[in-house]
Amino acid sequence: MSSPLLDWFAPCPRGLEAPLAAELDEIGDRHVDNAPVPSGALSVGAQVPGGVHFRGSWVAGMAANLHSRIASRVLLKIAQGQYRNEHDIYDLTHRQRWKQWFTPNQTMRVDLTAIKSPVKSLEFTTLRVKDAVCDRLREVAGARPSIDTAQPDVRVFAFLTANECTLYLDTSGEPLFKRGWRLDKGAAPLRENLAAGILRLTGWTPGTPLFDPMCGSGTFLAEAAQTALDIAPGMERRFGFEKLKPFQPMTWQKLREAAFQARNAAFAAQPDLNIFGSDISGDMLEKARANLNRAGIPRLMLKQLDERNMTPPTDAPGILIANPPYGERIEVRRRGPRGEIRDTGRFRREDEEAFERAQPDPADTEFFISLGNALKQRFPGWRAYVLTSDRKLPGLMRLRESTKTPLFNGALKCRLFRFDLIAGSVRNRPAGDQPAE
Ligand SMILES: C[S@@+](CC[C@H](N)C(=O)[O-])C[C@H]1O[C@@H](n2cnc3c(N)ncnc32)[C@H](O)[C@@H]1O
């Protein structure tokens, strides 16, 4: 599985394309250029909404799967062509040499995403892609693969624009945010790759104090501590490429061994992690402890504490990161007139708009005023980052943000607000800017 060079696409949560491109570049420098097997280079290509293109050998694809904290998957591009209708898509798919990738004895599933595509039915087009793969395999290998939508051996992705169809093979299998360490979920856990991307957006680097005062199941803590301890995010899981025909187990074994050695070297150096978490809920802290344990992280300092009473865990200022419990209140507000929960998965636009207009309830207001006060009074010199779907949050906290970065937590549009808590004189909102009390 070394050369030739192949085209890859790594999807990611929207808003994290630039951090993912930077991460892939680092993976290239660190794990592909220095791979223990001949590997070529990894060159990062265009960033598009929701992902980053890159080029490289199979080693680059495997290294991206093993080491990327931000990508949701790593897809191998196998064909691209113009189309006008479903027949053209069938023909393009049917022309591909599927037999070189997998056998008819393996199960598969097809997924299709489209932007501005003229096709009438995405379901029908997905079926045509599936038929084309099955027909081709039956013609050349004498049998067709079975479909398994739950746990397929092989996943084929089709991506349609207005006139172009791209076919990908998924090399990840389960999405990459499933690292294998999370069994205890807690109330509203962040996806691991969103947390990792946010950490990168904050500019945090290992050794700098990091404090999550509403740590929940410990996602930020686990991602940061694994980074500091050089624990590859994919070390404990399996990948889709292991089921593809070109898979070379020896090469993969060498990449994994190199990752284990890097982790052992980092542990031997006994770094001072300087990573701290607290939460008001003892149950959540138990879940966080269990998750951190499974993620291979030695005991971190976790404290049961109301954010109102929080104090800096270190003398030196650092980075505070928080994902307050606003999302759970959104769920409550999304109940229908008779209290029924509506649209728990995807929210309806009118619900979104009604929510945007809604005034914060008194409990929210009190919570965020005290969070703002705690930051202003006790965290001079720190940089605080708060992820929320509520764009009025800086007003509620009586603080002015330095930056705000739009991000998507699943389908929910969020913002990552940055507050610079300047020692001596906090950047408060001017009086006229403050919401009425
Ligand atoms: C959205 S969850 C955070 C999820 C976390 N980022 C994760 O990935 O698991 C919000 C957390 O805030 C905690 N919390 C709520 N009120 C709090 C308070 N007053 N002080 C500290 N933590 C609080 C909840 O227990 C919950 O764990």
Residue 265, pLDDT score: 96
Atom of ligand 1 nearest to the CA of 287: 9
| 217 C-beta closer than 6 A to ligand 1 | yes
| 277 C-beta closer than 6 A to ligand 1 | no
Residue 342, pLDDT score: 38
Average pLDDT score over residue span 394-409? 94
| 214 C-beta closer than 6 A to ligand 1 | yes
- Please, is 259 exposed, middle or buried when counting C-beta atoms within 10 Å of its C-beta (0-12, 13-18, 19+)? buried
| 226 C-beta closer than 6 A to ligand 1 | no
Q: What do you get for the CA distance between the two ends of the chain, in Å?
A: 64
Which of 101, 94, 105 minimizes the C-alpha distance to 148?
A: 105
Ligand 1 atom 8, closest CA:
189
Residue 430, pLDDT score: 45
What is the spatial distance between Cα 417 and Cα 75, in angstroms, rounded to a whole number?
32
Residue 321, pLDDT score: 98
What is the spatial distance between Cα 170 and Cα 109, in angstroms, rounded to a whole number?
10
Reply yes or no on whether the pLDDT at 345 is more than 70: no
For the stretch 231-288, pLDDT in tens is 999 999 999 999 999 999 999 999 999 999 999 999 999 889 999 999 999 999 999 9
Residue 362, pLDDT score: 65
| 186 C-beta closer than 6 A to ligand 1 | yes
CA of 122 to the centre of ligand 1 (A): 39
| 153 C-beta closer than 6 A to ligand 1 | no
CA of 302 to the centre of ligand 1 (A): 13
Reply yes or no on whether the pLDDT at 53 is more than 80: yes
Average pLDDT score over residue span 211-224? 97
- The encoded tokens of residue 428 equal 């408060």
Query: Which is more confidently placed, 379 or 432?
Result: 379
Residue 4, pLDDT score: 84
Reply yes or no on whether the pLDDT at 373 is more than 70: yes
CA of 250 to the centre of ligand 1 (A): 44
What domains does the chain contain, in order, with CATH numbers? 6-170 (3.30.2130.30), 192-233+270-433 (3.40.50.150)
Atom of ligand 1 nearest to the CA of 328: 1
Reply yes or no on whether the pLDDT at 40 is more than 60: yes
Atom of ligand 1 nearest to the CA of 288: 9
Residue 184, pLDDT score: 64
CA of 279 to the centre of ligand 1 (A): 6
Query: Which is more confidently placed, 329 or 384?
Result: 384
CA of 419 to the centre of ligand 1 (A): 19
How many C-beta atoms surround the C-beta of residue 5 within 10 A? Answer: 14
What is the spatial distance between Cα 316 and Cα 45, in angstroms, rounded to a whole number?
39
Reported confidence tier of residue 359, pLDDT bands at 50, 70, 90: low
For the stretch 274-333, pLDDT in tens is 999 999 999 999 999 999 999 999 889 899 999 999 999 999 999 999 999 864 443 334
Instruction: Give all strands of the β-sheet with 210-212 in edge-to-edge order.
Output: 301-304, 275-279, 210-212, 319-322, 383-388, 412-420, 403-409
How far CA 378 is from CA of 123, 208, 220, 322, in Å, comes to: 55, 18, 22, 16
Mutate to test the pocket of ligand 1, among 279, 285, 291, 292 (most ligand atoms within 8 A of CB): 279
CA of 395 to the centre of ligand 1 (A): 20
Query: Is cis: bond before 11, omega within 30 of 0?
Result: no
Atom of ligand 1 nearest to the CA of 307: 20
| 190 C-beta closer than 6 A to ligand 1 | yes
Residue 361, pLDDT score: 65
CA of 187 to the centre of ligand 1 (A): 8
